[in-house]
């Protein structure tokens, strides 16, 4: 299967099947998790992270053997090419350890500097989103993508007041609060991992701002899904995020995920990450 715009929807379905398999593995390991440690960057990891990553890389290489895979746990094992995969096998490891269920499997294929197809699967809450040329969402109903009743994912217009902002439980910072204070936020809803992009894509929220550090594998899949649902993810220059920056360790700068692009006019992001 070629990795191009013509086949993007079929590629997204193939990625979804891989994510479903990884999700089942994570659910089995979640019930018996006993090991976790803190990596040098201060983030937690478990044996489940690596097991899911190994599975995903193996399945991607079965389908596309010549395409590099840049994945969180083994990010230094491959360099990006004009076309490559970005993988976060377990986004929301802290929630996985705590048993909240708010974790996801994120897989995106990058063509040039932007995603071509992607999936975000949240196995413990039974939801999945994909995007190729369009964005779709569904409820996980079995082990195969054929069992999912897909629906078009579509953002909602932002209300004048009482915006719904998605915020992280453990990653708040003053720069993010300053950005949100310029908007008429009515509800702050906590959510973890790439689910925040997807909830906006499904019209369940309006904005997610992150000024603290994130990595490209955290955002690429959700970014693409939100864009294809009619929203956008912008950096501090008001431009879309780009991917494949090995020279900066795959770190993102500050960004805002918006359901309604008009919100960008009312938002000011800092020029550097907090």
Whole-number Å distance between alpha carbons of 204 and 202: 6
**pLDDT tens figures, 181-206:** 888 899 999 988 799 999 999 999 99
Q: What is the pLDDT of residue 126?
A: 96
Whole-number Å distance between alpha carbons of 117 and 91: 18
Indicate the SS3 state at residue 128.
Answer: strand
Q: What is the pLDDT of residue 274?
A: 36
Quick one: angle between helices 8-30 and 47-63, nearest 10?
150
**pLDDT tens figures, 122-177:** 999 999 999 999 999 999 998 999 999 999 999 999 998 899 999 987 656 677 88
Q: Are 242 and 143 in contact (CB under 8 A)?
A: no
CATH topology of domain 5-152: Fructose-1,6-Bisphosphatase; Chain A, domain 1 (3.30.540)
Pairing relationship of beta strands 114-122 and 104-111 according to DSSP bridges: antiparallel
Q: How is the chain split into domains, by residue range?
A: 5-152, 163-266
Indicate the SS3 state at residue 207.
Answer: strand
CATH topology of domain 163-266: D-Maltodextrin-Binding Protein; domain 2 (3.40.190)
């Amino acid at each position: 299967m070629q990795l191009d715009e013509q086949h993007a929807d079929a590629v997204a379905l193939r990625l979804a099947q891989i994510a479903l398999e990884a999700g089942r593995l994570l659910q089995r390991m979640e019930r018996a998790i006993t090991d976790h440690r803190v990596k040098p960057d201060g983030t937690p990891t478990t044996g489940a992270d690596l097991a899911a990553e190994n599975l995903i890389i193996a399945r991607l290489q079965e389908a596309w053997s010549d395409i590099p895979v840049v994945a969180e746990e083994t990010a230094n094992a491959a360099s990006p090419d004009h076309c490559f995969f970005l993988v976060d096998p377990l986004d929301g490891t802290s929630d996985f350890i705590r048993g909240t269920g708010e974790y996801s499997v994120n897989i995106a294929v990058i063509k040039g500097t932007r995603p071509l197809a992607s999936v975000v699967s949240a196995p413990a809450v039974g939801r999945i989103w994909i995007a190729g040329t369009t964005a779709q969402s569904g409820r996980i109903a079995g082990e195969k993508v054929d069992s999912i009743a897909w629906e078009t994912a579509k953002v909602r217009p932002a209300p004048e007041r009482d915006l719904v902002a998605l915020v992280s439980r453990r990653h708040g910072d003053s720069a993010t609060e300053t950005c949100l204070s310029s908007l008429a936020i009515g509800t702050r809803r906590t959510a973890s991992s790439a689910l925040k992009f997807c909830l906006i894509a499904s019209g369940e929220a309006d904005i997610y701002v992150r000024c603290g550090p994130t990595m490209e594998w955290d955002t690429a899949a959700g970014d693409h899904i939100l864009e294809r649902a009619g929203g956008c993810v912008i950096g501090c220059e008001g431009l879309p995020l780009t991917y494949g920056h090995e020279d900066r360790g795959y770190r993102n700068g500050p960004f805002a995920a918006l359901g309604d692009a008009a919100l960008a006019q009312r938002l000011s992001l800092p020029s550097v990450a907090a």
